[in-house]
Structure 1
Amino acid sequence: MGRPDKAARAAIARRRSDAIDLRLAGVDWLTIARKLAADPTANSDGIAYTQGYGIKRYRKNQPPTDEALIHAARRDVRTALVDRRAELNDDADELRALEADRLDRLFFVAYKAVRDQDLAAIDRTLWIMGRRARLLGLDMPVRTELSGLDGGLVQLGNVTAEELGSLIALTDSDAE
């Protein structure tokens, strides 16, 4: 079978984009499936998608069931969303690298003033270093433990809102 050619890949991408647009508009799965089918008689617009749902079945003159069309539409939307998520992650990585470069340049400028023992510049370089560490995930995670009264175990169970409020008030008064 092999990989679809460039025109087929473009038609599939268009179909997936249309499927997402229709789903976002609140269109039900069966309507989406019929609208994006390969057979113009199944399509309410009378248009046959060149890479539409059920294309192989229609060619054999054995139309797919509504369930099969719905399955294809759902799979298309899932696939398109995964692809879009990957693109967004790539964009975020690129933007993160750009922001790190900007912070490096700002740090260089501020650090020159640190050499002159400018206290404001020291604060600024520390802020830039902190921002860069957060951006790149360089800080070690903070370990947090929850303990009961006098460091004892916390008993878990069903708690009413009133009991929870009392516990919070008790914890706040211990902190002061």
Structure 2
Amino acid sequence: MGRPSRAVRAAITQRRADAVDLRIAGVDWLTIGRKLAADPSINSDKIAYPQGYGVEKYERGLEPPTDKQLIAMASRDLREALEERAAALGDSTDHLRQLMMERLERLFFPMYRQAIRDGDYQAVDRAVRIIERECRLLGLDQPTRTEVSGPDGAPVQVEAGTLEELERLIGLAGGQPADRGEG
């Protein structure tokens, strides 16, 4: 069998988009499968969905897909639709990043001029915030390193303990032990 026609490919794309929309709306897999089935006898709308699930069987007059098969087809459709969307988004991410950079640059220069020319501290703050956003967008910020240490900078000793010991340690760190309602 050759490549599907443009109309068939468009109908499959629409079916996948409908599957995504239904799943986002919280519809369960079987209901999606029935709503997008080709055979009107199992289609929840009692119509022949174009290029719906089990269309090959329907066109040959065979038994429609089982509930289990409908669930598998709906699940596969959703997975393939999301993979296609991720691939399309991946291709355009660099273009979107460049567009965002151009927008930030347009915002930056007036703030920069105002900060330098007038000494406007609000403009300085805004310019710095734009620079920070550009750095995050481009991945220029280094990850923050956090170290936890014990009293006087000593290493933290980790060992099994009781809930009371944990509450005592929390209290030493400046927190208040939780009231467990005991008395």
Fold shared per TM-score above 0.5: yes
Is the contact between residue 32 and residue 73 of structure 1 (CA under 8 Å) also seen in structure 2? yes
- The reply to whether residue 101 of structure 1 matches residue 102 of structure 2 is yes
When structure 1 is superposed on structure 2, of 46-55 and 23-32 the one drifting more is: 23-32
Give the equivalent residue in structure 1 for 2:172: 170
Secondary structure in structure 2 of the residue aligned to 1:49: coil
Write the letter of the residue equivalent to 1:67.
Answer: K
Q: Deviations 1:133-160 (Å, cap 9, x if unpaired)?
A: 1233211111112233342134154764
RMSD (Å) for aligned C-alpha atoms: 3.3
| Aligned counterpart in structure 2 of residue 128 of structure 1, from 127, 130, 136 | 130
The gaps in structure 1 that reach 5 residues or longer are: none
Write the letter of the residue equivalent to 2:146.
Answer: T
Task: Report the Cα distance in structure 1 between the residues aligned to 2:167 and 2:102, rounded to whole angstroms.
Answer: 47
When structure 1 is superposed on structure 2, of 115-124 and 7-16 the one drifting more is: 115-124
When structure 1 is superposed on structure 2, of 104-113 and 141-150 the one drifting more is: 104-113
Give the equivalent residue in structure 1 for 2:50: 50
Q: TM-score, normalised by structure 2?
A: 0.70
- The reply to whether residue 19 of structure 1 matches residue 23 of structure 2 is no
Give the equivalent residue in structure 1 for 2:29: 29
How much does 1:75 deviate? 1.3
Give the equivalent residue in structure 2 for 1:152: 155
Percent identity over the alignment is: 53
Give the equivalent residue in structure 2 for 1:41: 41
Is the contact between residue 147 and residue 154 of structure 1 (CA under 8 Å) also seen in structure 2? no
The gaps in structure 2 that reach 5 residues or longer are: 176-183
Task: Report the Cα distance in structure 1 between the residues aligned to 2:161 and 2:47, rounded to whole angstroms.
Answer: 58
Q: Deviations 1:72-112 (Å, cap 9, x if unpaired)?
A: 01111223334445566677765543332122123323444
Q: TM-score, normalised by structure 1?
A: 0.73
Secondary structure in structure 2 of the residue aligned to 1:4: coil
Task: Report the Cα distance in structure 2 between the residues aligned to 1:4 and 1:165, rounded to whole angstroms.
Answer: 66
